[in-house]
Structure 1
Amino acid sequence: MDFMEMYAQKKMTAEQAASLVKSGDWVDYGWCVNTPVAVDAALAKRLPELENVNFRGGILMWVPEIFQIDDPAAHMTWNSWHMGGIERKAIAQGFSFYSPIRYSELPRYYRESPDPLDIAVFQVTPMDEHGYFNFGPSTSHLGAVCEKARKIIVEVNTNMPRCLGGMENCVHVSQVTGIVEGDNPPIGQMAAAGPASEVDLKVANLVVPQIPDGACLQLGIGGMPNAIGSLIAQSDLKDLGVHTEMYVDAFVDIAKAGKITGAHKQLDKGRQVYAFGAGTQKMYDYLNNNPECMSAPVDYTNDIRSISALDNFISINNAVDIDLFGQANAESAGVKHISGAGGQLDFVLGAYLSKGGKSFICLSSTFFNKKTGQLESRIRPTLESGSIITDTRANLHYLCTEYGCVNLKGLTTWEKAEAIINVAHPDFREELIKEAEKLHIWRRSNKI
């Protein structure tokens, strides 16, 4: 089989690829850095002729051209597996919607759902000598997408890092419908983390001492997990492992500081495992052709069974707010959408099941409300009406703010309320005690 001949036969322009999309189609845009560019621009020109085209994607790192046409809601919907700032703005325009799901379920959803997938289009690396296009840092669920899609269009980008894995991290030229050679734009980058805030550093200094040598790490996205990662890189910790949903710049810093060997991992010994990566060019350069790093499907990385099989698993994530019952919200501000479920609950559950494992939910005790002009507590008597419960009260392990780190597992309602109030901002504690009394989860004999 001559792969180059097959490549030549399937090569097409972005406009030809866009012409394959019809009204009513479901079109998958891949994920994160794999979101198409050239085909997206061509589709934006074609879209005003169409109606009811339904796109799927997630974690957009730039505004797609299809978002910028006149009255996109008249022609399309954008259905996101995990929303960021770009998609939040599109919600207000009436064409963007969230698809609530545990991220770990995505591959199975694609394979078993009766819903159609007419066309998948996403960026890939150039074809290798064996006829394969690598998915770059987003193995995630793309293997399952390719199994389900009736037509597959790959958009080749020479700047896409080739990320090694071993399973479901590429698609063969024989499987694709069309190949578009784009303009090779830079891979989408997240801004480098700024200096850690005083609060971030206080939380980091509470969490890092609880991490043992040989631990296996998962870090979420955001300033606080980044600050913790930076402190780990500067610590005396050694022989750490990585098994995470999202690979972030902090892991590169930890690895280059000599802290990561993966020597004590029960699975994938010596390898840093991740479902997708998004960060700066430093991170993409580190992942490129690096045999130490393993790009894997999300139903493996986020499977509670995989996580719990790794001893001393340390999961570090953040939240928007938490109530006195121990319910954590990491997805919304009331009914205002912020993010998605992602894999946070999978890692909260998996880390606790791990031998010696710990799960940390970290947040600042307060935030400044621009609407009211006042400082408000992130620790609330009950979550604001409409807030999403990401982690239920039965599942939280450690809660950390700048005022302390408490283990909530197994506590009664009054013990839990007391522990949570103990790490609230002092200015709000008396008010929280009064509210806890109204909720019948406070013992006066145990007032702080």
Structure 2
Amino acid sequence: MLMEEFRRKRVSAEVAAKAVHSGDWVEMGFGANMPRILEAALAERKEELFDVKARGGLLLAPLKMLELDPEGEHFTWLSYHLSGIERKYAQLGKAFYIPIKYSELPRYLRENLQTDVAMFQSAPMDEHGYFNFGVTISHFAAAISKARTVIIEINEDMPRVHGGYDHAIHISQVDYVVEGGHMGVPIVPEAEPSLVDRQIAEHLLPEIEDGSCIQLGIGGMPQALGKMIAQSDLKDLGVHSEMIADAYVDMFEAGVVNNKRKQRDLGRMVYTLAMGTQKLYDFLHDNTAIAAYPVDYTNDPWIASQNDKLISINSALEIDLSGQVCSETVGQAIFSGSGGQLDFVEAAYRSKGGKSFICLPSTYKDKSGQIQSRIKPLMTNGAVITDTRTTVQYVVTEYGKVNLKGLSTWQRAEQLIFLAHPKFREDLISEAEKLKIWRQSSKR
């Protein structure tokens, strides 16, 4: 019976793509779940379609839709979180950012956004008629609940993951199935940590206790910290994270992570989005230690904070002397997105014994090659505030860490200046004096 329904709904990508009409809003994959064959088939319909708005994010490969449509008359890309590819599209006016608080994204889709067609990549249908989303769960179920037409692109190489809920879709909810064969899952290489990444990680490691529940981002610093944790004598760590990468495999295989002391999802590693190497994807496949959930579960501060000693570690682009954090723009130019950073900043602080860390190198090089401070008197003109000064707890650079909670304006300025590169400290003090946030009796 299930196979009869499968065969009835199985079509070519070209046929499935005809479900999209001019003016439609199309919800596509996210991260490693982009429906590549369907996207290419949709691009080939360029001359038939106008004003199609496609949503997704974290692109790991260029979109043929945009490459074949240089004037943007046929397709527009709207991103929940920009990758490097999408930043280039945004500069060309072909892509636009959708500001989100990631935990709220499913609600946006159910209440605020129009979705005409939803197309996602999945693992092959199982014996019970379910297509497993594998590496990305995120907001897919919410989009499907509102779509006129639902299309699944099967990737034979997609891991099948165990989940909490909304990690799979039944054949009865699907309108078309497109078989993609063995497509592989996009590889995101492990970032090579820099010296500064390792220095920041060294400041963080002592803050993690036995029984802590951790959330790490992706990049050189989290990778460095993950390896340090894997080689440490820490015990009984848990994982409740928006995203998981290769570092989590290292920690699990070292026996440091076992999820035995969690207050929610005991014994299971919780995530909604995974990107990494084949090592990660092999680890996820049919692993009963995994619990894949939609993002309104993983990132809900009330849910995440029920795990004691929740440690949240996220990165930033700049911070001002009041403690405001920008993690998504460089001045007025969009860089990535807010993602779930604020969700976990709030969750970790609410957690019993929890700690939230915002990490950033103290400096960067501008376009002319000159070193500039990431700690600034005031935010760069046009910079978007990701975390307000009242929500930020710990700030960490290669020069140390500080807990901003409860500190006055002059104490914040003083402590943050101590985290800045020595080259910029005197100038920052002078600016703090002009802003009336430097106490006269403070030592230089």
Give me the TM-score of the superposition, normalised by structure 1.
Answer: 0.98
Contact kept in structure 2, 1:225 and 1:318, CA below 8 Å: no
Aligned twin of 1:25: 24
Contact kept in structure 1, 2:66 and 2:76, CA below 8 Å: no
Post-superposition offset of 1:334: 0.2
Within 2, Cα distance between the matches of 1:311 and 1:402? Answer: 27
**What is the letter of the counterpart of residue 159 of structure 2?**
P
Give yes or no for the alignment of 1:387 onto 2:387: no
Aligned twin of 1:440: 436
Aligned twin of 1:112: 111
Post-superposition offset of 1:21: 1.0
Contact kept in structure 2, 1:222 and 1:318, CA below 8 Å: no
Within 2, Cα distance between the matches of 1:49 and 1:335? Answer: 36
Question: What aligned pairs does 1:257-296 form with structure 2 within 5 A after superposition?
Answer: 257-296=254-293
Within 2, Cα distance between the matches of 1:72 and 1:21? Answer: 20
Aligned twin of 1:233: 230
Contact kept in structure 1, 2:319 and 2:326, CA below 8 Å: yes
Give yes or no for the alignment of 1:70 onto 2:69: yes
Question: Per-residue CA shift, 1:119-175, capped at 9, x if unaligned?
Answer: 111110000000000011111111111111111000001000001103001111011
Question: What aligned pairs does 1:165-244 form with structure 2 within 5 A after superposition?
Answer: 165-194=163-192, 196-244=193-241
Aligned twin of 1:156: 154
Within 1, Cα distance between the matches of 2:182 and 2:35? Answer: 11
Give yes or no for the alignment of 1:417 onto 2:404: no
State the percentage of identical aligned residues. 53
Aligned residues: 444
Give yes or no for the alignment of 1:326 onto 2:330: no
Aligned twin of 2:404: 408
Question: What aligned pairs does 1:69-148 form with structure 2 within 5 A after superposition?
Answer: 69-113=68-112, 115-148=113-146
Contact kept in structure 2, 1:38 and 1:183, CA below 8 Å: no
Aligned twin of 1:349: 346
- The 3-state SS of whatever aligns with 1:24 is coil
Within 2, Cα distance between the matches of 1:25 and 1:430? Answer: 55
Post-superposition offset of 1:72: 4.9
Aligned twin of 2:369: 373
Within 2, Cα distance between the matches of 1:37 and 1:30? Answer: 9
Contact kept in structure 2, 1:216 and 1:241, CA below 8 Å: yes
- The 3-state SS of whatever aligns with 2:242 is strand
- The 3-state SS of whatever aligns with 1:305 is helix
Within 2, Cα distance between the matches of 1:45 and 1:264? Answer: 52
Question: Per-residue CA shift, 1:11-61, capped at 9, x if unaligned?
Answer: 000000111111000111121111111111111110232110000001111
- The 3-state SS of whatever aligns with 2:164 is coil
Post-superposition offset of 1:321: 0.8
Give yes or no for the alignment of 1:7 onto 2:6: yes
Within 1, Cα distance between the matches of 2:88 and 2:128? Answer: 42
Within 1, Cα distance between the matches of 2:3 and 2:329? Answer: 48
In structure 2, runs of 5+ residues without a counterpart are none
Aligned twin of 2:299: 302
Within 2, Cα distance between the matches of 1:159 and 1:56? Answer: 24
Within 1, Cα distance between the matches of 2:125 and 2:305? Answer: 36
Give yes or no for the alignment of 1:48 onto 2:44: no
Question: Per-residue CA shift, 1:328-368, capped at 9, x if unaligned?
Answer: 11001001111111010110011011110000111111111
Within 1, Cα distance between the matches of 2:425 and 2:292? Answer: 45
**What is the letter of the counterpart of residue 240 of structure 2?**
H
Within 1, Cα distance between the matches of 2:98 and 2:164? Answer: 29
Within 2, Cα distance between the matches of 1:253 and 1:48? Answer: 48
Q: Which of 417, 425, 429 is 1:429 aligned to? A: 425
Post-superposition offset of 1:70: 3.4
RMSD: 1.0
Aligned twin of 1:247: 244
Contact kept in structure 1, 2:345 and 2:391, CA below 8 Å: yes
Structure 1 outlier segments of 4+, above 6 Å: none
Within 1, Cα distance between the matches of 2:405 and 2:395? Answer: 10
Contact kept in structure 2, 1:146 and 1:171, CA below 8 Å: no
Contact kept in structure 2, 1:81 and 1:340, CA below 8 Å: yes
In structure 1, runs of 5+ residues without a counterpart are none
- The 3-state SS of whatever aligns with 1:57 is strand
Contact kept in structure 2, 1:213 and 1:238, CA below 8 Å: yes
Give me the TM-score of the superposition, normalised by structure 2.
Answer: 0.98
Post-superposition offset of 1:206: 0.7
Within 2, Cα distance between the matches of 1:140 and 1:306? Answer: 16
Within 2, Cα distance between the matches of 1:232 and 1:377? Answer: 29
Question: Per-residue CA shift, 1:298-331, capped at 9, x if unaligned?
Answer: 0010001012111101000110011101011100
